[in-house]
Structure 1
Amino acid sequence: MTRGIRGATTVVQNEATTIIEETRRLIEEMVTANNIAPEDISHVFISVTQDLNATFPAKGLRELPGYTYVPVMCMSEIDVPGSLTNCIRVMMVANIKTDQSRINHIFHNEAIKLRPDLTEKGGL
């Protein structure tokens, strides 16, 4: 079964090292919390708010062992007035048997505001 796993985080500044480190930390927690191996992952979409352009956050994923062949695409978020800034969102699609209601979606930093219904479930 193919499942989508959500993740999001924020950074304090538009700086390449910070963006890469926070993305890597988020993805590591997403795969650990859902017991996923790189070969289980079909593809990953990573979006950033318009204020983050210092680097491609996918570099954080590429630094992880075993992720060489995982397809990943970066894109810009819709610039909605009043929305969360400095935000990196991840949509990971994986082939796993976990029921959809048992997926652990992971939100870090200010991004916990995006889906309180999921963070209350334990996806922090």
Structure 2
Amino acid sequence: MPVRGIRGATSVENNSREEISQATRELLSMIIEKNEICSKDIASAFFTVTKDLNAEFPARVAREMGWQTVPMMCGWEMDVPGALKGIIRIMLHVNTEKSQKEIKHIYLKEAVKLRPDLVG
């Protein structure tokens, strides 16, 4: 079975545990729903956050959602001058028979500005 990458991103207005948790839950729930994913099919997840966010690990939120056996990592996004702040990103690797064209990448809130070609 092929492994496909699913991209997603969202934004928060404040560096708070509550906002990061809520935004991460919303993003992961939408990715799961739109791509019809079962947690057993998730191969791994890599989260990044912009340097202004450090109040919560997005991976901890995923574990709270039941992703207990999924290998996950968190890291900093590149700090490019002029880039959006308050952004949470994910690269989710999923075992699926779907083609790459069938994958639905999810961008929410201010993160829609990152990849307007994938929003819609």
* TM-score normalised by structure 2 residue count: 0.96
Q: CA deviation at 1:68?
A: 0.6
Any idea what SS the aligned residue of 2:65 has?
Answer: coil
| 2:115 aligned partner, one-letter code | R
The answer for the alignment partner of 1:108 in structure 2 is 108
Q: CA RMSD in A?
A: 0.8
Q: CA deviation at 1:24?
A: 1.1
| 2:88 aligned partner, one-letter code | I
Q: CA deviation at 1:43?
A: 0.2
Asked if 2 retains the 8 angstrom alpha-carbon contact of 1:20 and 1:58, the reply is no
For 1:106 and 1:4, the matched residues in 2 are separated by 12
For 2:37 and 2:8, the matched residues in 1 are separated by 14
Q: CA deviation at 1:77?
A: 0.6
Deviation digits for residues 27-52 of structure 1, max 9, x if unmatched?
11101100111110000000000000
For 1:54 and 1:34, the matched residues in 2 are separated by 29
The answer for the alignment partner of 2:26 in structure 1 is 25
For 1:28 and 1:51, the matched residues in 2 are separated by 24
For 2:14 and 2:27, the matched residues in 1 are separated by 17
The answer for the alignment partner of 1:98 in structure 2 is 98
Deviation digits for residues 94-124 of structure 1, max 9, x if unmatched?
00011101110001100000111110xx3xx
The answer for the alignment partner of 1:44 in structure 2 is 45
For 1:118 and 1:108, the matched residues in 2 are separated by 11
Asked if 2 retains the 8 angstrom alpha-carbon contact of 1:43 and 1:72, the reply is yes
For 1:116 and 1:96, the matched residues in 2 are separated by 25
For 1:10 and 1:21, the matched residues in 2 are separated by 10
Q: Percent identity?
A: 47
* TM-score normalised by structure 1 residue count: 0.93
| 1:85 aligned partner, one-letter code | K
Q: CA deviation at 1:20?
A: 1.0
Dislocated runs of 4+, deviation >3 Å: none
